[in-house]
Amino acid sequence: MKYLVLIGDMEESRHIKDRKGAQAHFKAACQKINKRRQHYGVVSPLMVTLGDEFQGVLMDPLRLWEVIAHLELEMFHICQIRFSIGWGDISTELSSRSSLGMDGPAFYLAREGIESLRKRDGLYGITGLGFEQGLVQYALDLWSAARRKWNFNRITTFCRLLEGVPVSKIATELDVTEQAVYRTRRDGELDTVVGMLSEISKLINREEQG
């Protein structure tokens, strides 16, 4: 069985004034995901590795995007995060307690992906797919460029849409009208992004099934 190794990297973390506080917030954000690991399909917990990075192992391609969106929302007022996904095998024993010390192709791919994102200033990368690899990455690069322009309300709306939260509840949370939420969805092409990510998840599932 193949797994999704997710590596996250705080962008330009050395320039953050309260770096220690940012790292603590980053760690707490990962722990929030781990507390709902069954919901998110986390098989090996998200763990901070170098202070500015985390890694974890997931098995649900659909929940993967929810994890990413939640971490982006948690860190929105601090910094951007790069996310690299390596889809492949894990050579070492799968640990449900710690993702540290594990190894295999999925980890190599995720690490290579982070380095690639740093070089081209991207936010999202996925490696390990078949013939569709290039197309998927171009789609994620387009999303990355658009995502850098999103404000807090837009990323919150996007996160809640991924969860299936109705517009009325999103409006209440943001203290805006429902019309404003619909406008945010339209202006940010959020339904298109959600659909794109859903199709990428389906592609991963199809490749897993052979």
153-189 confidence digits (pLDDT tens): 999 999 999 999 999 999 999 999 999 999 999 999 9
Question: Is 78 a member of any domain?
Answer: yes
Residue 194: HSE in the Cβ half-sphere, 13 Å Cα cutoff:
17
Q: Among residues 101, 60, 74, which one has the least CA distance to residue 8? A: 74
Contacts 24+ apart (CB under 8 A), 141-148: 143/193, 143/196, 146/188, 146/189, 146/193, 147/123, 148/80, 148/123
Tokens of 129: 């797919």
Distance CA 141, CA 162 (A): 19
Tokens of 37: 């690991």
Return the CATH number at 50: 3.30.70.270
Question: Is 170 a member of any domain?
Answer: no
Per-residue pLDDT at 209 exceeds 80:
no
Question: Is 181 a member of any domain?
Answer: no
- Contact between 10 and 81 under an 8 Å Cβ cutoff? The reply is yes
Residues forming a β-bridge with 126: 85
Q: How many CB atoms lie within 10 A of CB 208?
A: 13
Q: What is the pLDDT of residue 210?
A: 62
pTM over 0.85? The answer is yes
Distance CA 47, CA 30 (A): 7
Question: Is 145 a member of any domain?
Answer: no
Question: Is 160 a member of any domain?
Answer: no
**How many independent structural domains does the chain possess?**
1
Question: Is 157 a member of any domain?
Answer: no
Question: Is 103 a member of any domain?
Answer: yes
Tokens of 49: 């590795």
Q: Among residues 24, 115, 124, 127, which one has the least CA distance to residue 72? A: 124
Q: What is the pLDDT of residue 188?
A: 95
Q: What is the mean pLDDT of residues 87-107?
A: 87
Structure letter (DSSP) for residue 164: T
Parent domain of 65: 3-130
* Amino acid symbol at 37: R
* Residue pLDDT, tens place only, 11-61: 887 778 888 888 899 999 999 999 999 999 999 999 998 778 999 999 999
**Could you write out the three-class secondary structure of 93-160?**
CCCCCCCCCCCCHHHHHHHHHHHHHHHHCCCEEEECCCCCHHHHHHHHHHHHHHHCCCCHHHHHHHHH
Question: Is 159 a member of any domain?
Answer: no
Q: What is the pLDDT of residue 103?
A: 86
